[in-house]
Structure 1
Amino acid sequence: MDVFDILDRLVAFPSVAGRPNGDIAGWIEAYLAEHGTRVTVLPGPEGDRSNLFATIGPANVPGYILSGHMDVVPAAEPQWSSSPFALRREGERLYGRGTTDMKGFLAAALAAVPALAGLRLARPIHLAFSYDEEVGCRGVPHLIARLPELCAKPLGVIVGEPSGMRAVRGHKGKAAARVIINGRTGHSSRPDLGLNAIHAMAAALSAAVNEAERLTHGPFDPAFEPPYSSLQAGVVTGGHQVNIIPDICTLDLEARAIPGVDPASLLAPVRARAEALAADGFRIAWNPKSAYPAMSLPPDAPIAGLLHALTGEAPLAAVSYGTEAGLYQAAGLDAIICGPGDIDRAHKPDEYIVTSELAGCQRLIEALGARCAA
């Protein structure tokens, strides 16, 4: 199978984040086994989805991890020109959910396996494919925790998120949470007998707005756009109709932090203001939704030099989106982003990747293999 056949098969799996992924994980496992690759299936605590880890070459020698996620975001938008889970080719463009984010990278890595397997690798190349990245990098921490028993400490991790095949050394961290305020309902003509949850949420929203404004004043990191950490309220829901005192209101919010700042700490003022409402009789629930740390790789890191040599371009300092790379770095591994496609095409109807991008990624992986050969 070539890279296009593999991508066709991968896109056909509707592996939306948060759902069972046995079909796509099982197909990848079988494909790797056909090529004599050692594969370990790593079930997650959810019980219905798994990470995969595979090794080509000697596992007891430090090598490199190619990291990607098998899940995709939903594809319910009506603007799709064709089925999002059936690969469609128009000229050089290949359309389908996940083509760019990031089944294109998975396809290129899998297409390179026969060539890698034919080399006498002195250093191994590992494939680390995770689940539920799109809902807060929930799967990969379980994979990272198992690495010491699966392989020698790697020299570095290449996370194949779409970067136009330009290596990237940094991204912001993120934390997201949901706050739920429960009050007491009643007729709107007697507000004195109820507890208006929407009015109470205004206090938490005010804290979020104030914190967002405060963050614009620094600290700063000029590698990023914007060059400061940020916070936003993304979704507010509550109430039933205008003449009923709303007894529940929900707020979803997120923070994105420059390196050196704990993203969860940026949400603390909002949480404190919300939980203070308990003194007025409200019931408050604070539910963390996701979190991952920032990634900041020094310019002189060996893997940055390796990617410079393989791509012919110096790595970029940073991108605005987040990846699993921060979690690998937090675990003590040098990580860098480099993958096919453009992030601006992701999470949209008619997501696509270009055939030359897939071919270029496969060539880079095979060139990495040649450097690892005995």
Structure 2
Amino acid sequence: MQASAILSDLVGFPSVCGTPNGPIVDYVRGYLAFHGIPSQIVSGPEGDRFNLFATIGPADQPGYILSGHMDVVSAEGQAWSTDPFRLSLDNGRYFGRGATDMKGFLACVLATVPEYAAMDLARPVHIAFSYDEESGCRGVKHLLRSLGPLCHPPAGCIVGEPSDMRPVLSHKGKISLALSFQGRAGHSSNPAQGENAIYPAAELIGFVRAQADRLAQEGPFDATFEPAFSTMQVGTVLGGTAVNIIPDRCVVELEIRAIPGHDPVQAGATVLAFADSLAEAAHARGGTLQIRHEETSSYPPLAPNPDPALAELLTRLTGLAPQQSVSYGTEAGLYQQAGIPAIICGPGSITRAHRANEYILDSELDACTAMLRGLGIHLQRH
């Protein structure tokens, strides 16, 4: 099958992150089985979402992982000109949710499977398709924990996020936190009878802003990124019910994006420690303030690999010079954290991702398929 035909099938599955993904997993498993390729399912704790892993070639040799996620962001509230879950073609552009991010890459991988199966591979190609990448790289973490028995330690991982087919060496890491402040309601005519949850939330917001200013002024810095420092910001604040009621609850959502070498989890721990100090101060005054937190997203930065072998291979396969860094995040940092050299290289432009009328070019699918075919030739016995 051509990549475009497979893409049409994949787009037809509304595999929105946070929802069951059994149908699209069954489709991929069936396709692989038709070509004689067995696959393994690695379930997540949700019970209705699954990662998929398959190997073509000798599993006892160090090969390359082709990594992509099967989930997409929602199309709700967007003004699409066509049905987002039905691929449509117009003047060389394939429109559909996930066409670029990143079912286009998945389609190219699957379209190349028959060629891989016919090759005499000295080293294997591994296919690793994950779930819920769009909500914090949730699925691949379970896949990586199960990888040991599935294959020999891989030589590298190609994460096919849209990069205009340029190999990308690094990206920032991220953590998102939701902090819930629980105070005590009361009538606003006597504030002392309640405990205003918005006030400590405001103190935390001020702390986050001060930390963000410090990072901008003092670093650490990495000139390959724009901006060249880690960032921290509050994105949403929700609290109170009426102006004459002392608010007993406030929720603050924030994110931290960290350059390589700066751990976003540790930066988040600084914020949580400040929150703990606010609760302790409230209790010392006789209050009952409770502050709970939830990590809603987390993935590490991707740092440039000190060994240039993977970047040199992708440069040779694509004919394009590497790009030092990108502003978006991927699963590549998690592969690197697991000890697997990782690089980003995939069809389409990130500028089209998550938007209405998302599309990928027929020529971009062809370029990706050519790169993947070249990888197979590189891994053949000579």
Q: CA deviation at 1:38?
A: 2.1
Alpha carbons 2:4, 2:107 under 8 Å: kept: yes
The 5 Å alignment of 1:255-266 reads 255-266=256-267
**Aligned amino acid, residue 290 of structure 2:** R
Q: Tell me how far apart the structure 2 counterparts of residues 86 and 191 of structure 1 sit (CA, whole Å).
A: 56
Partner of 1:99: 99
2:6, 2:242 → 1: CA distance? 51
Task: Give 2:158's aligned residue.
Answer: 158
What's the RMSD between the two structures over aligned residues? 1.1
Pairs within 5 Å for 1:81-96: 81-96=81-96
Q: State the partner residue of 1:274.
A: 275
1:373 aligns with 2:374: no
* Cα separation, 2, equivalents of 1:204 and 1:342: 37
Tell me if the contact between 1:178 and 1:252 (Cα under 8 Å) persists in the aligned partners.
yes
Matches within 5 A, 1:237-316: 237-279=238-280, 280=282, 281=287, 282-298=289-305, 300-316=307-323
For 1:299 and 1:357, the matched residues in 2 are separated by: 29
Runs of 4+ in 1 over 6 A off after TM superposition: none
1:54 Cα offset (Å): 0.7
Distance apart, 1:190 and its partner CA: 1.5
Q: Indicate conservation of the 8 Å contact 1:100/1:341, yes or no.
A: yes
Where 1:226 maps in the other structure, the secondary structure is coil
Residues 1:346 and 2:347 aligned together:
no
How big is each residue's C-alpha offset from its partner over 1:221-250, in whole Å with a ceiling of 9 and x where there is no partner? 111111100001111111112221111000
CA distance in 2, matches of 1:229, 1:60: 40
The TM-score normalised by the length of structure 1 is 0.98
User: For residues 192 and 273 of structure 1, what CA distance do their matches in structure 2 show?
Assistant: 24
Structure 1 unpaired stretches of 5+: none
1:87 shift after superposition: 0.8
The alignment partner of 2:6 has SS state of helix
For the 8 Å contact 1:37–1:56, the answer to whether it is kept is yes
User: In the aligned structure 2, how far is the partner of 1:311 from the partner of 1:78?
Assistant: 34
SS at match of 1:231: strand
Distance 1:78 1:132 in 2: 20
Cα displacement string for residues 12-39 of structure 1 (whole angstroms, at most 9, x for unaligned residues):
1111111111010111000011001121
Q: Give 1:299 deviation, angstroms.
A: 6.0
Work out whether 1:54 is the aligned partner of 2:57: no
Kindly provide the CA deviation profile for residues 15-66 of structure 1, in whole angstroms up to 9, marking residues without a partner as x: 1111111010111000011001121111112111110001111111111100
Moved more, 97-106 or 72-81: 72-81
Q: Match of 1:286, SS?
A: strand
1:76-109 Cα offsets, whole Å, 9 max, x none, are 0241112111111111111111111100000010
Offset, 1:277 = 2.5
Contact 1:51 1:128 in 2 (8 A): yes
Say whether 1:127 aligns with 2:134: no
How many residue pairs match? The answer is 374
Task: Confirm or deny: 8 A CA contact 1:231 1:266 kept in the other structure.
Answer: no
Distance in 1, matches of 2:79 and 2:46, equals 33
| Aligned residue number for residue 206 of structure 1 | 206
AA of the residue aligned to 1:220: F
Q: Partner amino acid for 1:327?
A: L
Equivalent position of 1:115 in the other structure: 115
Structure 1 residues 284-293 or 57-66, which shifts more? 284-293
The 1:350–1:305 alpha-carbon spacing in structure 2 relative to 1, beyond 3 Å, is same
Matched, 1:2 2:9: no
* CA–CA separation in structure 1 for the residues paired with 2:306 and 2:151: 26
- Measure, in 1, the Cα distance between the counterparts of 2:188 and 2:361: 57
Which piece of structure 1 moves more, 295-304 or 46-55?
295-304
Task: Identify unmatched segments of 5+ residues in structure 2.
Answer: none
Q: Distance in 2 between matches of 1:299 and 1:93?
A: 38
Q: Give the whole-Å Cα distance in 1 for the aligned partners of 2:363 and 2:96.
A: 16
Q: Distance in 1 between matches of 2:184 and 2:216?
A: 37
On the 8 A contact 2:305/2:341 being kept in 1, the answer is: no
How far residue 276 of structure 1 moved from its aligned partner, in angstroms, is 2.1
| C-alpha distance in 2 between matches for 1:118 and 1:109 | 15
Cα gap change, 1:172 to 1:78, in 2 (>3 Å): closer
| Partner Cα distance (1:336, 1:150) in 2 | 21
* Matched position secondary structure for 2:245: coil
Cα distance in structure 1, aligned partners of 2:321 and 2:330? 20
